Structure formats: C-alpha cells, structure tokens
Amino acid sequence: MPRLLDKGLDELTVAVFKMGEVAQQALMLSLRGYIRGKDSTEDVCELSEMLVAMTTEVEEQAFRLIAKYQPVASDLRIINSYMKIAYDFERYGRYAWDISSISKRLGGLEKCEEWIFEQIGEMSEEVLQMVKTGLTSLKKLDSDLAVSVATSEQKVDEMYFNFIEKLVKEAGITNQCTISSLLVVRYLERIADHTTYLCESIVYIVTGKKVTLR
C-alpha cells in the first residue's frame, strides 16, 4: 500500500526535475548569447530569479514532508539530497546571469582572438554536455552515469588552467576581452564543479554511499 509520504516525495521529485530543466535553459541562453554576441540578459535574469523562487519552494516542500511524516533514514537521504541538488541548480542560474551580465557590460567574443573564441566555445559545450548528463542521471537515478561526470570535470579543469596559462602568455595588455573571457571560464569551471556535487547527491540517493567525484 502506497504511503502518504510517497506522494509528497513524487511531488518533490517533479519540482527538482523542473528546476533542472530551467537551469539548463538558463545556461544555454547565457553561454550561446555570449559566444554569438547576443544580449540574453533579460531572459536569463528571469530564469535565474525563477530558480531562486523554485529553490525556496523545494525547501518548503522538504520541510513539510519532514515535519508531517517524520521520514525514516532512507527517505531523509532522498529529501536532503534533493535540497542540495536544488541549491546547485540555483547556482547554475546565478552563474548564467553573471555570464550574461559580463557579455552585456564588457562585450562578447566578436573582438577576441580566434583561439579565445574557440576555447570558450569548446569549454562551453563540454560543460553543457556535462550538465545534460547530470540531468539525465538524475531523472533515471543512474548512479553509474552520475559517476561518469568525474572524467568530464577533470577535462573542464584542464581546459580552465590551460586557458589561464595561454591568456597570461598571449593576451598581453589587459583589455575587455581578457577580463570578460577570464571571468566566464571561471564560471564554467564552477558550473562543472556544481554538476559533480549534483551527481554525488544522485549516487547517495541510489546507493546510500557518499562519493567524491572531484
């Protein structure tokens, strides 16, 4: 016989999945706007604010479930993990907003050297694919798929440090492109980190084991 708690957990799951979709949309808009020189600030800001509100709702749902049903340890593991994942999705929205704001204030990549354009594009696609993998593993509760993001995270870290090293060697005099691209690659690296946090939570939900994927 289904428990009353199960309905609440299902509703919480749906809310977190929806957050993931909104967060992914915000990242895609901001990164592709930055790369293509298109101002996406207004749309990304709206999505970012939506994610903040959705995080609050997830937290309230979680606290209601805890207070009303006094869930056992396995249920608490799921509820706690979903709260952490919701926070990671909220951070995606904030980073997306930051990237769009940088693009609007300092310009996109249209005046940058070709290697900067190429490396930002490559790193963006790697991070977006990583985010997609994280969302898929969450929806399927696939812990093996979640663990696989560790390889991508290491690749993003390597891209990040390679970009910094090359920027120091070749950028020369500091300019708008140098500043904006440096900030954006830092945000990309942080998005990748939050994706590993998300996937660590998925592994914990499925297996009860706490793993470190960084």
> Tens of pLDDT along 92-142?
999 999 999 988 888 778 778 888 889 999 999 999 999 999 999 999 999
Report the percent of the chain where pLDDT is more than 70.
Answer: 97
Question: Mapping DSSP to helix (H, G, I), strand (E, B) and coil, where does residue 23 land?
Answer: helix
Can you tell me the distance from the alpha carbon of 97 to that of 200, in angstroms, rounded to the nearest whole number?
25
75 pLDDT exceeds 90? Answer: yes
What is d(CA 113, CA 42) in angstroms, rounded to the nearest whole number? 27
Average the pLDDT over 4-15 and give the result. 93
| Residue 39 per-residue DSSP state | -
Q: Which residues contact 41 (CB under 8 A, 6 or more apart)?
A: 97, 100, 101, 103, 104
The confidence score (pLDDT) of residue 183 equals: 87
Q: Which CATH class is domain 4-207?
A: mainly alpha
Q: Of 211, 206, 76, whose CA–CA distance to 141 is shortest?
A: 206
Residue in the block written with tokens 């990549």? 109
Cα distances from 19 to residues 47, 76, 94, 172, in angstroms, run 10, 20, 13, 41
Reading the block at residue 73, the tokens are 């340890």
pTM value? 0.90
**How many CA within 13 A on the CB side of residue 152?**
27
Question: Distance from CA of residue 61 to its chain's centroid?
Answer: 22
**Residues 134-192 pLDDT 10s:** 999 999 999 999 999 999 999 999 999 999 888 878 766 557 788 888 889 999 999 99
